Structures are given as C-alpha cells and as structure tokens.
Structure 1
Amino acid sequence: MAILTTAARADGYPVPGQIGFQEAVTPIAREMHFFHNAILMPIITIITLFVAGLLLWVIFRFNEKANPVPSRTTHHTMLEIAWTILPVLILFIIAIPSMKLLTNELVVPKSDITLKVTGKQWFWSYEYPKDQNGGFAFDSYLLKGDDVKADDIRQLSVDNQAVVPVNKVVHVLVTGADVIHSFTVPSFGVRIDAVPGRMNETWFKAEKEGTYYGQCSKLCGKDHAFMPIAFKVVSEEAYTAWLNDAKKKFASAETKPVHLAGAE
C-alpha cells in the first residue's frame, strides 16, 4: 500500500500557537471561513469598538467630577427605538448567509462515495459499501508508544487512515455504538454527532490531496482525548489501488450492509 507510506504531516492539523482556522479544502469549509471572516468578525469588531467607546464616553463625560448635577432623564423614545431596531437588523443581516450555509451543509448532493463511520469507546470504525467496490470495514486507533514514528503527529496519527479520492463527493453516514461521540474534521468543515441508534449524515468534497485530521468533539468518556480522525485524500487512481489492497488487508473484518438512511 505504497500510497500510505508517506509522512503523516499535512495541512489539515493544528499547530502550536494557532488561533485561526485550519486550511479549508472543501467548498463548505471555505464558505464557513468566509461567513466568519467577512461577515461575523467585522460586525463583532464594530459592535465591540462602539460599546467600548460608549463606556469610555460615559466614564469621562458623566462622572461625578465632570457632571456634578446628574440628568433626570429616564426615557428617550428615539434612543429606545434605535437600540431595539438596530440589533434586529444586525441579526437579519447575519441570518441570511447563515441559513444559506446551514442549507448547504445539510442538503447532501449526489454522492460519488458513501462511507459509514461509527464512533466507539474509544476509536472509530469505517465501512466501505460493497456496491461501491468496497465490502470491507476496519477500526482506526490512535498510535501510541513505540508505534509513533518521527513523521507521525502525536495524539492525531492513527494505525488505519480512511482514504477517499480527491474532487469526489463523499456521503458520510455517522452513528455511535455506545455513547454520543462527535465526528469532526475542521479542514473539511464537518462536525456532526455520532448518536447510538440514529444515523446522521454529512458530506464533503476534498479538493486537495493530503492527510487531514480531526478528533471526537464530544466529552464521551475517559479516553475522549484519544480517538482522532485521519483522512487520506488521494488521486482516483491511487484510491482504486488502495481499495484493492484494503479488500485483502481487511478481508477478515466482519462487515454489515451500509444503508443510505433516506438520502442519496
């Protein structure tokens, strides 16, 4: 399986001191970043500076020394109308792109690949359906101790990475086997709960080859911090080669049929 022998490091992982987003490699992740950086942050910054300015103005203009005789004004009709209407207008401005983003996240387009992911205590299981040249399943555990090599990333590298082809829509069915987990891959713009007895769904279309990491984002138990997610995005030719090798490698794993839970 030559395509998996390269170094684990890639764009999709957190680095020390990082305060911004990881690189977006899917349309949904880019839309999230635009919503945050171009809409939310300017609005939040303006509001913060405005409120800070008002506080400073009140502190210096209306302190006892500068204003020994306080005003007896208790109501100001126009001011009360303004501070009621302006927040509503701001929320309306935020709501329009927010609803569009939520719709794009939840409406799964026609998929090229379906992948079932099951959160367990404390690792992830992946199933590739037989009708898409798969028919195998495997577990993905955190690398520990001597298994961690120089090119691996501590607390993120795993023994078995999930592999998907670049520029293909991947439909991900997510469930839990025991408690609630959360399937999260920041570079893909994906975060969805893995709930026992329920099949949730999400999707992504990775547009850049590489290895991208995530983690369980739900407090699911004592080893919550030790169940990372690792996706290897490769060319279509490399993906086909990996499928052929994986069917042999994981031939002994017990698989169950993957159903689409009402979505393509």
Structure 2
Amino acid sequence: MSYFFNYFQGFCLPMPGNLFASYVDWFHNFNCSLLFGVLFFVSAMIVYLISNKYYLKSYKEYQLAELLCSLIPTVILVIQMVPSLSILYYQGLMANDSALTIKVTGHQWYWSYDYSDIDGLEFDSYMKPLDELKIGEPRLLEVDNRCVVPVDTNIRFCVTSADVIHSWALPSFSVKVDAMAGVLSTVNCNFPMVGVYYGQCSEICGANHSFMPIALEVTTPEAYKNWVMGNVL
C-alpha cells in the first residue's frame, strides 16, 4: 500500500529534502496503509452482515467479541504511537544543537529574515513580479531576496508575526510553523543538499495571501560566507 502513495512523490507531492522529511513521509504512508486496511475490513463486514440471510432473534452476550473490539483498536493505536514518538524524539535531538539562528517575521504580505548571530544581516523578502522573472524561475514562488543557509548545518528558525496570523511552510522539509504576533515559535532544520527550495504562506492572511512565497537557498559553506560578507559589508 505504501508503494501506492510513493507513486505521487515528485509528481504532485515534493520529494523529501532531508532525513526528517523522509521519516514524516514514511509515517504518513504507514498510517494511510493502516487506515485503508481498517476501512476495507469494516466495509467487508458491513456488506457481509447486510447480505447474510441469517440473524439472531435475541442478542446474547459475547465477551470474546467485546474483548476483541477493545483489544484490536488498542493494538493499532500502539503501533501508530511507536513511530510517532520516534519522530518526535528525533526532532528533539535536532533542537539540541543549532549552529545558526534565523528570526522569520511574517507581514502582510512579505517575510523578513534576521540572522541573529550576524550583526547587520536582515532583509525583507517580496515575491518577484512577473515582468522581473528570469528564465527558470518559478512563477508566484520566486522572491527578490532569498533566505540563504549553509548546507548540512543545523539551523534554528524563530517564527513570529508583525500583524495577522501567517504560516511559514517548506513542504520539502515537512516544516510548517504558525507565525503569530507576540509568540515566538521555533523549529530546527538540517539541509543536506544544495539547492533552492520553495514554500508559501499556509495560513489565509488577507487579500494577497497567495502572493507571499518563501524561497530558501542552500549553498556550500564557502558560498555562504561570500554571501554574508557581500550583504553585511
């Protein structure tokens, strides 16, 4: 059953960008397989009982059936709980070691990035108009200032809002953090592959909600240092 869900990877769903996203995708496929199995079993039982000509005129206690109806759902929930706790534990390990902290602030309708560990490195990120797009840049996703991070580095993102509720989301890394005014939500990520990854605000925040993209560029350490020096000095 999991192969059925994996068929859509890369077609209408983003490919996992790191190990955490791979775990989340596997857990999603695992849960869907369980749910489809339960749905098939219950549907088959309903069809069987409806089509069965025989029935009991007087219902009697059947303790074994009552026990199974309690035991089987409990076992299924435990099976789901074990990988869920493992993913939460792995996510907690990532939060213990962060080499870089970036504060992300949502506005109507753009994002601001503040590199807390680097004095003077902060900027706003707006969606690029159609007439400014270059060949190969995606429509409604490219921005004028990308958030640039070094490859294979644990990074802490502190997400908040300056006005209404927004949501900072990167589907390739299974990241979605609500940005709320007065609240600083944190998420840790590691980016093992060089490239450009896109996302969008995932909380309806007003008229231009659809024009609030996120562009994250993962570069080599040398390119990242050059980018920092070029933007600070």
- Which band: TM-score by shorter chain? 0.7 to 0.9
Gaps of 5+ in 1: 1-13, 249-264
The one of 196, 202, 205 aligned to 1:217: 202
Tell me the TM-score normalized by structure 2: 0.88
Question: Aligned partners of 1:199, 1:76: CA distance in 2, in Å?
Answer: 54
Query: Would the aligned equivalents of 2:130 and 2:139 in 1 still touch at CA under 8 Å?
Result: no
The one of 168, 174, 187 aligned to 1:189: 174
RMSD between superposed Cα atoms in Å: 2.0
The one of 71, 80, 85 aligned to 1:99: 85
Report the CA distance between 1:105 and its aligned residue: 2.8
Question: Aligned partners of 1:71, 1:238: CA distance in 2, in Å?
Answer: 79
Q: Does 1:231 align with 2:216?
A: yes
Question: Aligned partners of 2:60, 2:164: CA distance in 1, in Å?
Answer: 54
Q: Does 1:119 align with 2:110?
A: no
The one of 179, 186, 206 aligned to 2:164: 179
The one of 29, 32, 50 aligned to 1:41: 32
Question: Aligned partners of 1:167, 1:71: CA distance in 2, in Å?
Answer: 68
Question: Aligned partners of 1:188, 1:26: CA distance in 2, in Å?
Answer: 6
Query: Would the aligned equivalents of 1:180 and 1:218 in 2 still touch at CA under 8 Å?
Result: yes
For residues 54-88 of structure 1, the C-alpha deviation after alignment (integer angstroms, 9 at most, x for no partner) is 12212322xxxx34x66432643221221122112
Question: Aligned partners of 1:235, 1:70: CA distance in 2, in Å?
Answer: 72
3-state SS, counterpart of residue 208 of structure 1: coil
What does residue 88 of structure 1 align with? 74
Gaps of 5+ in 2: 1-8
For residues 134-168 of structure 1, the C-alpha deviation after alignment (integer angstroms, 9 at most, x for no partner) is 52211111122312333111121111110001100
What does residue 24 of structure 2 align with? 32
The one of 106, 109, 112 aligned to 2:96: 109
Q: Which amino acid aligns with 1:114?
A: T
**Count of equivalent residues:** 224
Question: Aligned partners of 2:115, 2:159: CA distance in 1, in Å?
Answer: 13
Tell me the TM-score normalized by structure 1: 0.78
3-state SS, counterpart of residue 204 of structure 2: coil
Question: Aligned partners of 1:215, 1:71: CA distance in 2, in Å?
Answer: 59
Asked which structure has the greater RCO (Cα within 8 Å, sep 6+), the reply is 1
